[in-house]
Structure 1
Amino acid sequence: MRLYLLVFLFGVSWARGVDWSPNYEQPEQIHLSFGEKTNDIVVTWSTFNDTTSVVRYKNYGESEWQLVMGSSKVFIDGGQMKRPQWIHRVTLKDLAYDTRYNYIVGLSPAQSAPLSFKTPPAGEDWVVRIAIYGDMGVNNSMSLPFLLKDVEQEKYDLILHVGDFAYDMNEQEGRVGDEFMRMLQPLAASLPYMTCPGNHESAYNFSHYSNRFSMPGAESNLYYSFDVGPIHFISISTEVYYFTEYGLKLVVNQYEWLKQDLAKAASKVNRAKRPWIILFGHRPMYCSNSDDMDCSLEYTRTGYLGLFGLESLLQEFGVDLVIWAHEHSYERTWPLYDNQVYNGSYQHPYTNPRAPVHLVTGSAGCREGTDRFIKHPKPWSAFRSSDYGYTRFAAHNTTHIYIEQVAVEHAPGAAEGDVIDSFWLVKELHAPYIGI
């Protein structure tokens, strides 16, 4: 009789679109992000029932656990089944810097296994190490095994995912998003996973992105900034220029916010403290791929009828590096502004460059494969590759950044996981670009 009852209940729940599992209160899809500062760590996770939002944590060397309560919000997928889940957020505030913590999400019997993370060092004088990539899906996520190995070896302090997740998070009534977030957990539950939206997040007004990720931005996480070490990072949404059905007001709001944020970051006091200004967003201002029109329609660069274009702000406030994805490839430019190259010198183009450097890194791996390039590279294109891979970044100090691209498959003459491109960006003076 009990077996028949279970079968009946399973059939009813499946018909109603409810996930049937004895662990429906079990925390899953656990991931971290920075809060308002780098020693505030936000823990985000999902359950499929309304449970207590709680995290227990302790310093790695201590025995006594501290308990922090948070809040949850029901998120209903926009598909036909209106499938719900509860997304929980707890902020661990004012943690000790450069310290490893153990933490457990939820309460027994529905709690996570013990997890851990390490807070970054205090101040600006330390080497910031980052994995950077975009366009990674549930299927064909070629870079994931290599990233997991890197994270296990503690090679990074944070990750930047530059748009396009899961392919797509809304598919199968949101189940693809759930699977992707489960897949990310070994990475994102161990170190801050900082993001920006891409075009594949557009469904239901970007609701999967805005609900699943906890970035410090006020505009539904679409744009925000944060400081880490000697770097001021700025995350923007390129999608506000392309999905105008959600309102041109977002274009204007982001432009005005960005201008104010850049002015503050480029002030004399702040630039002396954190000289590097790095912006990242999904669709590139410059690329030389041949797959579609994206490399000839860069609204983020030019704006609409010359209004609200962002490239002039890069010049005005001396942005050092701009990171993009969207194209399923890797491409590095020479120092570049308005389609013109402004190298530091012929022998050392990236030493004291006279314009921002652009980097496209969208080949982490997804069901759409990688993208080809036009036959002849543009004059501003310094290196490009269609191999699957991801980018490693290290800001060594206030003057030197080292960047390398790792190929994970099909690298000509190189084994999987080998570095196929690298360069040093050297700037002794961080300031607006004059004379361009």
Structure 2
Amino acid sequence: MLPVQAACALLSLAPLLVLGVPPIGTQPEQVHLSYPGVSGFMIVTWTTFNETESKVEYGILGGRVFDMTAKGYATLFLDSGEEKREMYIHRVTLTGLKPAAAYVYHCGSDEGWSDVFFFIALNDSTSFSPKFALYGDLGNENPQSLARLQKETQLGMYDVVLHIGDFAYDMHEDNARIGDEFMRQIQPIAAYVPYMTCPGNHEAEYNFSNYRNRFSMPGQTESLWYSWNLGSAHIISLSTEVYFYLEFGLKLLFKQYKWLQQDLEEANKPENRAVRPWIITMGHRPMYCSDDDQDDCTKFDSFVRLGRNDTKPPAPGLEDLFYRYGVDLELWAHEHTYERLWPVYGDKVYNGSKEQPYVNPKAPVHIVTGSAGCRERTDRFNPNPKEWSAFRSTDYGYTRMQIVNTTHIYLEQVSDDQYGKVIDSIWVVKEKHGFSAWV
């Protein structure tokens, strides 16, 4: 037996015995899925800190493990912080997936593989009734709802997650290390279901570069705006930030508006609206809110809703556009609270009826869900809200949604403060969709 002193001496040399090998930068991390908007496809995105191959090995659950391989590509992302940290963002598109089939996969290369994950390929049937978790403003610090969302996702409670802006607080901080850590934190959610996003104000640093590089949404707009179909819904994700960060180009605002107009026109073609009658939008900053935070839609009317007159040419808002094309449901975040509105347009309530306000409503329904948890804590409410405010909560939590069929959508709010209790719920029922539904 070695004397104690000799054993201690050997232990002190242990770091030298590995010949000073640096941490392995080829190990995949921050794995997340996204739906490219095409049936039978799924995108797997991950990060390494050295350049490696981009491969996904996958197979049908219960079949031969990893009997299929897909290859993709890596993009060098150079963070704009002082250290100019480099990372490689890998993207691989899986094709030919069988709708509603369960798959197992891992990603990486022969220089390092991720853990094994599973997902269910999205069902492309228009009669599919998808279930969503949706929220905004989830941070790296004080992410109170995160553990519950991780567990519920792995229990199979959700088909898709919608993160409606504001990630990590903030992804660029500490030379983007906060972004890395946040992406690791959401991996237990995002590696199992498509994690669909839109940008918020906390992503603005370096012209939204961390957001644009880390996520892989449909379309060719670096994930800033896009649309996709699921079940009986056409879902539109947009950037409200084009109304606020004009230093990055007023052209973006008008480009998005034109795209929205064209996308809504296409979605409203009779043959399209017949099979996907629901039109749902998600954007970070709400058109309406009653928080007492001296921010937009509390201190001044929402630019997103009414546009801006201080630009040349004046920038059009989105409320009239969405109303004209019969948008049914509008999902927002930014305010660190939960607020459900009565059907509203032009600052006025248009309930379906006094007894059943959400049955055949005469205006879009708005939900604000920005209380998932972040270092800025929750907001306070104005004690005297306008008549369109139907239900408010300052509890930490998130929203669940199910598109049940062509006439019914169910929404409920989960309070994490109250151990997962459902504190609010509504059914939105529409027998007719489109602009004519308002009349």
TM-score (norm 1): 0.93
Q: Which residue of 2 aligns with 1:49?
A: 50
1:164·1:326 contact (CA, 8 Å) conserved in 2? yes
1:38·1:227 contact (CA, 8 Å) conserved in 2? no
Q: Which residue of 1 aligns with 2:308?
A: 304
Match of 1:129 among 116, 128, 131: 131
- Number of aligned positions between the proteins: 421
Compute the displacement of 1:37 (Å): 1.4
2:28·2:114 contact (CA, 8 Å) conserved in 1? yes
Q: Report the AA paired with residue 60 of structure 2.
A: N
Q: Which residue of 2 aligns with 1:278?
A: 280
1:227-283: CA deviation from partner (whole Å, max 9, x where unpaired): 011110000000000000001000100000000000101110100010000001000
Q: Which residue of 1 aligns with 2:191?
A: 189
Cα distance between partner residues in 2 of 1:176 and 1:79: 12
Structure 2: gaps of 5 or more residues: 1-11
Give SS of 1:80's match.
Answer: coil
1:92-131: CA deviation from partner (whole Å, max 9, x where unpaired): 0121001000111012351112111011223110211000
Cα distance between partner residues in 2 of 1:336 and 1:310: 14
- Percent sequence identity is 52
The 5-angstrom pairing of residues 247-266 of structure 1 reads: 247-266=249-268
- Tell whether 2:411 aligns with 1:403: yes
2:352·2:360 contact (CA, 8 Å) conserved in 1? yes
1:44-75: CA deviation from partner (whole Å, max 9, x where unpaired): 00000000011111111221611111000000
Cα distance between partner residues in 2 of 1:25 and 1:131: 32
- Tell whether 2:35 aligns with 1:34: yes
Q: Which residue of 2 aligns with 1:67?
A: 69
Q: Which residue of 1 aligns with 2:338?
A: 330
Cα distance between partner residues in 1 of 2:237 and 2:438: 27
Q: Which residue of 1 aligns with 2:424?
A: 421
1:274-294: CA deviation from partner (whole Å, max 9, x where unpaired): 000000100000000001222
1:177-217: CA deviation from partner (whole Å, max 9, x where unpaired): 00000001010000000000000000100000000000013
- Tell whether 2:147 aligns with 1:145: yes
Cα distance between partner residues in 2 of 1:53 and 1:153: 29
Q: Report the AA paired with residue 66 of structure 1.
A: M
Give SS of 1:401's match.
Answer: strand
1:236·1:279 contact (CA, 8 Å) conserved in 2? yes
Cα distance between partner residues in 2 of 1:41 and 1:78: 30
Question: Residues 3, 382 of structure 1: CA spacing in aligned structure 2 closer, same or farther, 3 A cutoff?
Answer: same
Q: Which residue of 1 aligns with 2:3?
A: none
Q: Which residue of 2 aligns with 1:14?
A: none
Give SS of 2:405's match.
Answer: coil
Give SS of 2:296's match.
Answer: coil
Give SS of 1:300's match.
Answer: helix
1:1-34: CA deviation from partner (whole Å, max 9, x where unpaired): x969969x98xxxxxxxxx952210000000000
Q: Which residue of 1 aligns with 2:389?
A: 381
Cα distance between partner residues in 1 of 2:15 and 2:373: 43
Question: Residues 272, 137 of structure 1: CA spacing in aligned structure 2 closer, same or farther, 3 A cutoff?
Answer: same
Question: Residues 274, 178 of structure 1: CA spacing in aligned structure 2 closer, same or farther, 3 A cutoff?
Answer: same
Q: Which residue of 2 aligns with 1:432?
A: 435
1:38·1:228 contact (CA, 8 Å) conserved in 2? no
Compute the displacement of 1:341 (Å): 0.6
1:374-393: CA deviation from partner (whole Å, max 9, x where unpaired): 01121000001111000000
Match of 1:244 among 243, 246, 266: 246
2:360·2:437 contact (CA, 8 Å) conserved in 1? no
1:355·1:433 contact (CA, 8 Å) conserved in 2? no
Which has the greater radius of gyration? Answer: 2
Cα distance between partner residues in 1 of 2:144 and 2:219: 30
Question: Residues 200, 423 of structure 1: CA spacing in aligned structure 2 closer, same or farther, 3 A cutoff?
Answer: same
1:388·1:408 contact (CA, 8 Å) conserved in 2? yes
Match of 1:217 among 173, 197, 219: 219
- Tell whether 2:158 aligns with 1:156: yes
Cα distance between partner residues in 1 of 2:338 and 2:346: 21
Cα distance between partner residues in 2 of 1:152 and 1:308: 42
2:52·2:109 contact (CA, 8 Å) conserved in 1? no
Give SS of 2:266's match.
Answer: helix
Compute the displacement of 1:427 (Å): 0.3
Question: Residues 148, 434 of structure 1: CA spacing in aligned structure 2 closer, same or farther, 3 A cutoff?
Answer: closer
Which moves more between the two structures, 184-193 or 59-68? Answer: 59-68
Cα distance between partner residues in 2 of 1:233 and 1:21: 45
2:37·2:229 contact (CA, 8 Å) conserved in 1? no
Structure 1: gaps of 5 or more residues: 11-19, 410-414
- Tell whether 2:369 aligns with 1:361: yes
- Tell whether 2:291 aligns with 1:289: yes
Cα distance between partner residues in 2 of 1:151 and 1:324: 21
Q: Which residue of 1 aligns with 2:7?
A: none
Question: Residues 364, 207 of structure 1: CA spacing in aligned structure 2 closer, same or farther, 3 A cutoff?
Answer: same
Cα distance between partner residues in 2 of 1:180 and 1:403: 27
Q: Which residue of 1 aligns with 2:355?
A: 347
Q: Report the AA paired with residue 248 of structure 1.
A: L
Cα distance between partner residues in 1 of 2:23 and 2:326: 55
Q: Report the AA paired with residue 104 of structure 2.
A: N
Cα distance between partner residues in 2 of 1:191 and 1:73: 23
Question: Residues 50, 320 of structure 1: CA spacing in aligned structure 2 closer, same or farther, 3 A cutoff?
Answer: same
